[in-house]
Amino acid sequence: MNIFNVPDFFGYLVNGYLVKGAFVTLGLTIATAIGGMILGMLVALMRMSGKRYLAGPAAFYIWILRGTPLLVQLVIVFTGLPQLGLRLNVLESSLFALILNEAAYLAEIIRAGFMSVPPGQREAADALGLPRWLSLWKVSFPQAFRLMIPSLGNSINGLLKSTSITSVISMEELMRRSQLLMQAKFEVLEVFSAAAIYYLIMTTAWSLFQQWLERRYGAAFQKSK
């Protein structure tokens, strides 16, 4: 009895069904990262506003989303919102839950990045008469972003793998397609080993891109000294 069928494993590596699942996973990751960054920036700015009616809800949002499992949030979105009259399909539910969850983590990373910028930088911008939004965008953000890159990169790396949770609501990303293929062929190790290779390729590609970002913005910072 063969424990691991090597030819079938290599066949799964080039299986079009799994390749399409990998692209769906990649699309979910990119869309969630963009949506999470936008929402996370908004939540971070609310927390830093100094106004209790903004900071309070933002802190509560982060507490709830970071304190409960993504799987629970996903199920609540998929099964609970329709009972309130908001009907979302599988893709919409997946993106909605992923973005809400990711934004809570990114908000804290963004806030920490802004807080790491020396106060003197903001004071200098104020002395020059720059509006608050312009000071934030032109002075604080470029410096904060350089400090955020490692944490942002790690968060997105984790997000890429977390998309597999959407398989529980039948989102046909890489993990779901691997499960369906496994049920048809009953080759568990071969199918999931191939899926693991796909995940490894995607996370490695992202890690290389992250290293490029760190070098680029780190070099720019060194030149500005």
Task: Please give the full DSSP string across 156-174, using - where no structure is assigned.
Answer: HHHHHHHGGGGGGGT--SH
Query: Residue 210, class by beta-carbon neighbours within 10 Å (0-12 exposed, 13-18 middle, 19+ buried)?
Result: middle
Crossing angle for the helix pair 16-48 and 141-162, to the nearest 10 degrees: 140
Q: How do residues 90-139 score in pLDDT, each as one tens digit?
A: 999 999 999 999 999 999 999 988 888 777 666 666 666 666 666 776 67
pTM for this one? 0.88
Domain ranges of the chain: 6-224
Q: Supply the pLDDT for residue 2.
A: 63
Spatial distance between the Cα atoms of 58 and 79, rounded to a whole number of angstroms: 25
Higher pLDDT, 143 or 181: 181
d(C-alpha 90, C-alpha 163), whole Å: 13
Instruction: Give me the residue label for tokens 């293929």.
Output: 181
The architecture in CATH of the region 6-224 reads: Orthogonal Bundle (1.10)
What is the spatial distance between Cα 57 and Cα 45, in angstroms, rounded to a whole number? 12
Residue 216 has pLDDT above 70, yes or no: yes
Choose between 71 and 1: higher pLDDT: 71
Checking if the pLDDT of 214 tops 60, the result is yes
